[in-house]
Structure 1
Amino acid sequence: MWAVYAGLSALFASLTAILGKIGVQGINSNLATAIRTIFVLVMAWGMVFITGAQAGMKDIGGRSLVFLMLSGLATGASWLCYYKALQVGQVAKVVTIDKFSLILTFLLAALFLGEKLTLKTLLGGVLITVGTLVVAL
């Protein structure tokens, strides 16, 4: 089932780029990000209440809360940069460079989470890097 959700995530991410590029035309990219974030917030909290997950709020520990807040700040910074890049750049190039985060994630997961970099992961990372350079240059 995770693969279905991952596929849907890819579909929605591609729509995010296309719809965002159209939506950011003629307005400040920071304002566009803020408007988009309102809808993300409403949708996320809506899903929490629809699924009854709000009951789990009392179980969130301090460590989890700190890391979720840091993740939220990283997401916000990513979105601000992404929408500015979409505003001034070509979608195909922006998205390709943005997806280079995969390589950074492989490396950071190995460094901070102790995840193993397998030969398959390294080979995939090299191919993604080459593909990123081909599209971006």
Structure 2
Amino acid sequence: MWAVYALLSAVFASLTALFAKVGITGINSTLATAVRTVFVLIMAWGMVAITGHGQGLRELSVKSWCFLALSGIATGASWLCYYKAMQTGPVTSVVTIDKFSLVLTMLLAAVFLGEAFNWKTALGAGLITAGTLLVAFAK
């Protein structure tokens, strides 16, 4: 089932890029990020309310709070940079470079989480890197 959610994530991420490019026309990218974040916040808390998982808030450990906070800060920084890049760059190049995060995640997961980084992972990371360079910087 995780693969279905991952595929849906890719579909929604694609729509996010297209909607963002149109939505930031003529406005400051930081303001656009803040407006977008309001809607993400409403949607996320709405899902918590609909699913009835709000009681889990009391069960979060200090470690969970800290790492979720760090994740939120990283997400905010990513979105601010993404919208700034999207405002002036071509969608295809911006999204391609943004998705290079996959390679960075593979490396960081191997180093910090002990996840496998074998020849298949290295080959995939190399191909993604080559594809990123080819698509993002091709003239």
Query: TM-score category by the smaller chain?
Result: over 0.9
Q: How many residues align?
A: 137
Q: Deviations over 1:38-75 (max 9, x none)?
A: 00000000000100110111110001100000000000
Pairing of 1:109-128 with structure 2 (within 5 A): 109-128=109-128
Q: CA-atom RMSD, angstroms?
A: 0.6
Aligned partner letter, 1:129: T
Q: Deviations over 1:84-137 (max 9, x none)?
A: 000000000000000000010011111111111022211110100000000111
Q: Deviations over 1:13-62 (max 9, x none)?
A: 00000000000010000000000000000000000010011011111000
Q: Which consecutive unaligned segments of at least 5 residues does structure 1 have?
A: none
Aligned partner letter, 1:20: A
Give 1:67's aligned residue: 67
* Structure 1 moving runs of 4+ over 6 Å: none
**Which shifted more, 115-124 or 104-113?**
115-124
| TM-score after normalising by structure 2 | 0.97
**Which shifted more, 118-127 or 31-40?**
118-127
Q: Do residues 44 (structure 1) and 23 (structure 2) align?
A: no
Give 2:23's aligned residue: 23
Q: Which consecutive unaligned segments of at least 5 residues does structure 2 have?
A: none
Aligned partner letter, 2:39: F
Aligned partner letter, 2:20: G
Q: Percent same amino acid at aligned positions? A: 67
Aligned partner letter, 2:51: T
Aligned partner letter, 1:133: L
Aligned partner letter, 1:56: G
Give 2:96's aligned residue: 96
